[in-house]
């Protein structure tokens, strides 16, 4: 008794289990965690160290290098990138792609950084390690108010955050765009000299009157009373009232009489946030990883509505990004395509097989999909467009199993008029071939699961869903389908409704033409094989000539604008330019289809999508994200924005692009030049920029080292300093006090604590001519001396930013081409880069980075598992057929799909992406499936010994023609919604599968019997001679 007979015997159990799984699958669709894209581990942590006063060169040697050397000792670290800029060191530590448990690595990182911090100069603060670099904000909100200060908005943001934290599933909420407050005590230098005041006297007076020190305790029997004395500043007026001693016997004077005392903000503010042109505080909300974005957003929406009600009139809380919208578009959009495909497939199957047979076969497809969803729930998988789209990819295979079973049952029933015999023969004949074809297809997709690369993580669910759906498809095809056929399909003689169906007569005619064609080809099989394999290079050429884009663009309706001012620009200047840009973008007469926008100065804002890594922070950088009405509006706005920025902001580098998938922008090419000599690197980077400029349609050429900056170099004359009794430390501290201010004490306002800062008046701070007159105070003297007395002043040019990769200075030059992808530009640039390499000084080298490198590594990671998987496929086929010739036939038919894929990509103008690689795997599975069932049928027909081997081949192939054709047609027609809509992610995949099947199936229907006849030495001349049987 085979599996089909066993299933029929226990059909109540089979039907009940199938129904339960389908219902549970339907429920799981709405309860599975929904996401836009699969979860990808961000194997990167950031070590940030501030050291005010140190230049980029000093930061590199004194801070960055010791920390990098400490990080090198950690096992599991793959790459170290660092940025040394004035006053700050940023180190990116990347773990190997094969690692998923990262907590131990980051714990070691913190330990090593802590040990190395003892080697850092005293100016350096304690390094901080951020290992949550990959956290994605599912919701970002902007808090604005025209009539409220930033401090008040900050208070409202803190209050709102407390309420939002009550949303179930919230992981954390960051407040972004805060501007630190200060109390400024500003004096004139001339007034300080007149009164004989020193900074230490003012600092001592303020510190002595602003105290929270305990004043003791009184013990009374069983009670203890704490004694507190007044003295802490409660208001700005208290600071103004502080008495400052003047001279030796001149008494004292209120600080407010000699100084301007005000409460304000850090100037210039290191980081600012804006929403629709207004200063804003941004709330960045992250949820727990196991949560569903859609469910979380629904709960968040209610709480946000309550928060809005609690805010004062005039304070607005607006959405910036709302990931649930993108998830709905992605998941429900693919779901709609799946439903459309199911309807189309059902219609096509009914058209070809008749109503009863079509409904039996068509019913299995949704049953497989719903059961797959149920199993996904049990395996804690997520619902995203890749897992749903896999059901479309597997559609041909899912339909194929049912069609083959139903068609075989129907033919056997027509021949024998015995349902039980048809059930038995169908199960015995097809169980092993269909299981083998399903397993080989699963093995073909296995490299996606094995790939140690982010692209492998992105596509890993495809392997899992393929394995689940094909296994379920085989089980249902071998149990439910033959049972339904037994119950509902009458013998053809009893079914007159099927007789006049046009599709039957059409198929009969097609089978006749196919038999004639097959006889002709078998007589000239050598010529046919030579021609087919001669066409393979043509198919390969067409694929190679197709525009390459390993990671496709995103369908998000958002415009990204990267803003770079010249190095040395202050964040205040950057804010002013970005404010002008926002005003231009908000001009509805010019950009009517652009909506809300958020801008960030000094940094890149929150990470609101996984593929978008935040900008490296710097005062001269900014980032603007603009929401558009749809993707078409994005495509229209990008070239217009580029032109507007070029005309109106010629002093600013702006790079405008759409959203993208993958680890970096797939339209930007990056080239690195590395070596020990920084000045030499800059020269070579300029050559690279000129090389890129020579390629037509290349824009946004940019180097990440920016321009050199001018610095004021104070050269201390040591002998003069010793005579004056001052030290280099005195000089450094006096200059810092003059320009940056000196912290005197702290001011407390409820829960807020911020410094009281002593500094000179703004006109004196802003006047470069006053530098030589800056008073230098020594610890042992009561009167200062001017800086010019102990130092000379020079103007020098220096690096503003130094990038390193694996401890080696590295400059990255990038550019965007409007007509070519980076993968297409790379071969064009290669000869010129080779010429540059030949001229490089020893120890220096040039290499591609960014998307070119990522695509190469990604492809290598995906294909790394292919040898093992192919070996397992061969083992499975050899075991099934107990020989080598049949597996060789099957493998030789697979490359034929390349011809169709090449034609399809060329005609439909699709790009070659990693999704096309997936389509090749799906095609291989379908072709293998077709070849296996054809060879099995040929073996059966030859075993009957009712005719010659040649005729047995023709009869067997004609019998398999209809199910193979139906599978091909249903798959192609089912993909039409994705092709017609030109889905940004699945267009290339759909085109490849459709054209690959059209050409591949036609060729396979001929190539398989030709190779079979050849390898088994069957005479195809028309004589009745026999060939080999094994």
Q: What is the CA radius of gyration of the chain?
A: 37
pLDDT of residue 61: 94
Bridge partners, 170 (sequence order): 287
The domains found in the chain, sorted by start residue, are: 1-31+354-500 (1.20.1640.10), 504-545+865-1030 (1.20.1640.10), 709-743+766-799 (3.30.2090.10)
Name the helix (H) or strand (E) containing 721: helix 718-724
User: How far apart are the C-alpha atoms of 327 and 333, rounded to whole Å?
Assistant: 9
Closest CA to 933 of 481, 394, 408: 408
Closest CA to 918 of 845, 984, 991: 991
User: How far apart are the C-alpha atoms of 885 and 881, rounded to whole Å?
Assistant: 9
174-203 burial by CB neighbour count: b if 16+ within 10 A, else e?
Answer: ebbbbbebbbbbbbebeebeebebbbebbb
pLDDT of residue 274: 96
Strands 44-50, 128-130: pairing kind: antiparallel
Q: How many CB atoms lie within 10 A of CB 422?
A: 25
Closest CA to 324 of 32, 36, 659, 630: 36
User: How far apart are the C-alpha atoms of 762 and 266, rounded to whole Å?
Assistant: 13
Q: Is the bond into 268 cis (omega within 30 degrees of 0)?
A: yes
DSSP-assigned letters across all residues of 953-976: HHHHHHHHHHHHHHHHHHHHHHHH
Q: Is 592 exposed, middle or buried (0-12, 13-18, 19+ CB in 10 A)?
A: exposed
> Residue 547: left if φ>0, alpha if ψ -120 to 50, beta else—which one?
beta
Q: Structure tokens of 702? A: 């940019």
Closest CA to 361 of 375, 342, 338, 335: 342
User: How far apart are the C-alpha atoms of 129 and 266, rounded to whole Å?
Assistant: 25
Cα end-to-end distance, the chain, whole Å = 27
User: How far apart are the C-alpha atoms of 43 and 997, rounded to whole Å?
Assistant: 39
Q: Structure tokens of 937? A: 């049928």
237, 216 contact by CB (below 8 A): no
Bridge partners, 49 (sequence order): 89
Q: What are phi and psi of 976, to 5 degrees?
A: -60, -40
Q: How many CB atoms lie within 10 A of CB 717?
A: 13
User: How far apart are the C-alpha atoms of 844 and 363, rounded to whole Å?
Assistant: 64
User: How far apart are the C-alpha atoms of 174 and 903, rounded to whole Å?
Assistant: 51
Considering Cα of 948, then 949, then 952, then 957, what sign does the dihedral take? Answer: negative
Closest CA to 396 of 963, 874, 900, 1002: 963
Q: CA triplet 886, 891, 897: central angle to 5 degrees?
A: 135
User: How far apart are the C-alpha atoms of 685 and 671, rounded to whole Å?
Assistant: 9
Q: Is 885 exposed, middle or buried (0-12, 13-18, 19+ CB in 10 A)?
A: middle
461, 390 contact by CB (below 8 A): yes
User: How far apart are the C-alpha atoms of 540 and 898, rounded to whole Å?
Assistant: 7
Q: CA triplet 440, 539, 1005: central angle to 5 degrees?
A: 50
Torsion angle of C-alpha atoms 108, 112, 115, 119, degrees rounded to 10 = -170
User: What are the average pLDDT values for consecutive 10-residue runs of the chain, which has 1030 residues?
Assistant: 91 93 91 80 91 90 95 92 94 89 91 93 91 87 92 92 94 92 88 81 84 68 69 85 78 88 88 94 92 90 94 93 86 77 81 84 87 91 80 73 85 86 89 87 84 79 88 92 89 51 67 88 88 88 85 85 92 94 93 94 90 86 94 92 92 91 82 94 94 93 90 89 86 86 86 87 85 82 84 89 94 93 91 93 93 85 84 89 90 89 90 84 83 88 82 88 84 82 81 89 88 88 55
The single residue listed with the structure tokens 């096309």 is 916
Bridge partners, 669 (sequence order): 815, 850
């Amino acid at each position: 008794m085979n599996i089909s007979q066993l299933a029929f015997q226990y059909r109540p159990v089979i039907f009940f289990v199938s129904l339960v799984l389908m219902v549970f699958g339907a429920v799981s669709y709405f309860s599975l965690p929904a996401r836009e894209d699969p979860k990808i581990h961000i194997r990167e942590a950031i070590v940030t160290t501030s050291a005010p006063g140190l230049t980029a060169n000093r930061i590199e040697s004194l801070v960055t290098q010791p920390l990098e050397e400490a990080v090198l000792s950690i096992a599991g670290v793959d790459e170290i990138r660092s940025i040394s800029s004035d006053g700050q060191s940023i180190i990116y530590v990347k773990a190997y792609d094969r690692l998923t448990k990262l907590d131990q690595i980051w714990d070691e990182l913190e330990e090593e950084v802590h040990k190395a911090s003892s080697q850092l100069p005293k100016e350096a603060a304690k390094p901080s390690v951020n290992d949550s670099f990959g956290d994605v904000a599912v919701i970002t909100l902007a808090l604005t108010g025209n009539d409220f200060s930033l401090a008040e908005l900050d208070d409202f943001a803190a209050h709102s955050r407390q309420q939002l934290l009550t949303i179930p599933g919230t992981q954390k909420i960051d407040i972004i765009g805060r501007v630190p407050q200060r109390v400024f005590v500003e004096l004139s230098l001339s007034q300080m000299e007149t009164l004989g005041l020193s900074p230490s006297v003012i600092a001592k007076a303020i510190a002595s009157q602003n105290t929270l020190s305990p004043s003791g305790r009184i013990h009374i029997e069983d009670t203890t009373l704490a004694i507190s004395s007044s003295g802490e500043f409660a208001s700005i007026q208290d600071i103004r009232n502080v008495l400052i001693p003047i001279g030796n016997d001149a008494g004292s004077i209120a600080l407010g009489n000699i100084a301007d005392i005000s409460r304000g903000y850090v100037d210039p503010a290191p980081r600012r946030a804006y929403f629709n042109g207004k200063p804003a505080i941004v709330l960045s909300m992250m949820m727990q990883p196991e949560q569903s974005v859609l469910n979380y957003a629904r709960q968040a929406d209610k709480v946000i509505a309550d928060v809005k009600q609690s805010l004062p009139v005039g304070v607005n809380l607006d959405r910036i990004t709302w990931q649930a919208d993108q998830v709905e578009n992605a998941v429900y959009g693919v779901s709609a395509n799946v439903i459309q495909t199911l309807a189309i497939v059902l219609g096509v199957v009914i058209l070809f097989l008749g109503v009863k047979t079509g409904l039996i076969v068509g019913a299995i497809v949704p049953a497989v999909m719903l059961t797959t969803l149920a199993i996904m729930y049990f395996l804690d998988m997520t619902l995203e467009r890749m897992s749903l789209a896999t059901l479309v990819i597997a559609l041909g295979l899912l339909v194929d199993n049912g069609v083959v079973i139903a068609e075989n049952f129907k033919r056997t029933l027509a021949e024998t008029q015995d349902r039980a015999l048809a059930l038995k023969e169908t199960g015995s004949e097809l169980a092993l071939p269909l299981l083998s074809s399903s397993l080989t297809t699963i093995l073909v997709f296995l490299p996606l699961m094995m790939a140690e690369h982010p692209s492998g993580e992105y596509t890993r669910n495809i392997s899992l869903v393929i394995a689940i759906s094909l296994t379920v498809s085989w089980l249902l095809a071998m149990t439910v389908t033959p049972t339904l056929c037994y119950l509902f399909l009458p013998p053809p003689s009893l079914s007159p409704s099927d007789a006049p169906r046009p599709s039957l007569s059409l198929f009969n005619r097609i089978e006749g033409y196919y038999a004639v064609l097959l006889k002709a080809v078998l007589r000239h099989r050598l010529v046919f094989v030579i021609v087919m394999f001669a066409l393979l290079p043509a198919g390969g050429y067409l694929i190679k000539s197709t525009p390459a884009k390993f990671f496709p663009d995103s369908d998000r309706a958002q415009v990204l604008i990267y803003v770079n001012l010249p190095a040395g620009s202050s964040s205040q200047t950057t804010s002013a330019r970005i404010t002008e840009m926002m005003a231009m973008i908000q001009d509805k007469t010019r950009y009517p289809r652009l909506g809300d926008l958020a801008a960030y100065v000094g940094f890149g804002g929150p990470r609101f999508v996984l593929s978008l890594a935040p900008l490296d922070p710097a005062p001269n950088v900014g980032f603007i994200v603009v929401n558009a009405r749809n993707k078409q509006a994005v495509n229209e706005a990008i070239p217009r924005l580029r032109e507007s920025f070029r005309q109106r902001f010629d002093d600013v580098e702006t790079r405008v692009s759409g959203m993208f998938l993958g680890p970096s922008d797939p339209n930007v090419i990056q080239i690195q030049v590395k070596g020990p000599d920084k000045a030499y690197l800059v020269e070579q980077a300029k050559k690279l920029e000129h090389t890129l400029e020579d390629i037509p349609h290349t824009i946004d050429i940019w180097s990440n080292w920016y321009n050199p900056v001018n610095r004021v170099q104070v050269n201390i004359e040591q002998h003069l300093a010793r005579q004056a009794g001052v030290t280099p430390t005195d000089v450094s501290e006096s200059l810092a006090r003059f320009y940056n201010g000196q912290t005197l004490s702290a001011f407390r306002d409820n829960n807020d604590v911020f410094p009281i800062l002593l500094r000179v008046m703004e006109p004196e701070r802003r006047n470069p001519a006053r530098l030589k007159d800056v008073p230098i105070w020594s610890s042992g003297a009561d009167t200062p001396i001017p800086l010019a007395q102990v130092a000379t002043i020079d103007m020098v040019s220096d690096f503003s930013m130094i990038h390193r990769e694996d401890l080696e200075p590295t400059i990255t030059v990038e550019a965007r081409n409007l007509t070519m992808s980076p993968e297409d530009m790379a071969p064009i640039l290669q000869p010129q880069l080779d010429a540059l390499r030949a001229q490089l000084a020893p120890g220096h080298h040039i290499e591609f980075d960014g998307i070119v490198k990522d695509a190469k590594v990604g492809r290598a990671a995906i294909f790394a598992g292919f040898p093992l998987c192919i070996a397992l496929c061969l083992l499975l086929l050899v075991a099934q057929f107990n020989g080598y010739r049949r597996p060789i036939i099957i493998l030789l038919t697979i490359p034929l799909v390349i011809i169709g894929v090449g034609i399809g990509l060329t005609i439909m103008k699709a790009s070659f992406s990693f999704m096309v690689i997936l389509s090749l795997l799906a095609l291989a599975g379908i072709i293998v499936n077709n070849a296996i069932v054809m060879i099995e049928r040929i073996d059966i027909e030859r075993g009957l010994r009712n005719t010659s081997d040649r005729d047995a081949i023709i009869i067997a192939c004609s019998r398999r023609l209809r199910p193979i054709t139906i599978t091909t047609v249903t798959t192609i027609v089912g993909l039409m919604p994705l092709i017609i809509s030109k889905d940004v992610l699945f267009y290339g995949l759909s085109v490849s599968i459709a054209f690959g099947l059209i050409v591949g199936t036609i060729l396979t229907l001929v190539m398989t019997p030709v190779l079979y006849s050849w390898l088994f030495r069957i005479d195809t001349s028309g004589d009745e001679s026999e060939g080999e049987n094994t």
